[in-house]
Amino acid sequence: MAPVDHIYIPDDCWQIMLTHVSEGVPEEACGLLGGIIREDRYQAIEAIPTVNILHSTERYQVAPQEQLQAFVHFEAQSLELVAIYHSHPRGPEAPSPTDIAEAYYPETVYLIWSSQGVEWKCRGFLIQRGQVREIKVFRVTLA
C-alpha cells in the first residue's frame, strides 16, 4: 500500500482555521481537526480552534483542557485526530526545528499556516521520528 500523501479539508473547516490564524496575529494560533483516516488519505470533518497557552509569536501549545475536550468530542463522533494546525505569522512555510522536536503524534498531519504580510498559505506535513514529509492539502466543497 502506498503511503498516505494528501488530506482533504472541507470549506467550513478551512474558513474556521483561516479566520482563527488571521485573528491570532501576532501570536501563533493553533487547533485540532477531527476526521477519518482512510487507506489513501486523511479526510477532515471538523475543526476546533484552541488557545495557544504560550501566547508566543514563535511557539504554540494547545491548552490541555481544550485538547482533552476535543479528543472526547472526536471520540463521541467516531472521529480521529487527523490534523493539528498552527500558524507561522512571519514564516517559515515549513516546520521549525521546535515543531519537529515537539511533534508527538506521528500519524497526524501537521498543518502550517504561514503569512509574510500577504495571503495566508496552508501546507501539510507528516513528522515521524524527526523526519518531515510534505503531503498535499486539498480544500474541498462538500455537496
Burial 17-33 (b: 16+ CB within 10 A, else e): bbebbeebeebbbbbbb
Pick the more confident residue, 114 or 117: 114
Average pLDDT, the chain: 93
pLDDT digits (tens, 9 = 90+) for 41-83: 899 999 999 999 999 999 999 999 999 999 999 999 999 999 9
**Active-site residue (options: 28, 46, 93, 134):** 28
More confident residue, 73 or 116: 73
The ranges assigned to domains in the chain are 6-140
Nearest 5°: phi and psi at 32? -130, 145
Q: How far is CA 139 from the centre of its chain?
A: 13
Query: Mean pLDDT across the stretch 133-142?
Result: 92
In the predicted model, is pLDDT for residue 2 greater than 60?
no
Please choose, from the candidates 22, 16, 34, 8, the residue with its C-alpha nearest in 3D space to the C-alpha of residue 89.
Answer: 22
pTM of the model: 0.94
Q: 6, 36, 39: which is closest to 126 by C-alpha?
A: 6
pLDDT exceeds cutoff 70 at 3:
no
Tell me if residue 28 is catalytic.
yes
Instruction: Give the Cα separation of 59 and 104 in Å (integer).
Output: 15
Give yes or no for residue 117 having a pLDDT over 80.
no
118 pLDDT above the threshold of 90: no
Quick one: average pLDDT of 16-37?
A: 97
Percent of the chain with pLDDT over 70: 96
Q: What is the largest CA-CA distance in the chain?
A: 42
CATH of domain 6-140: 3.40.140.10
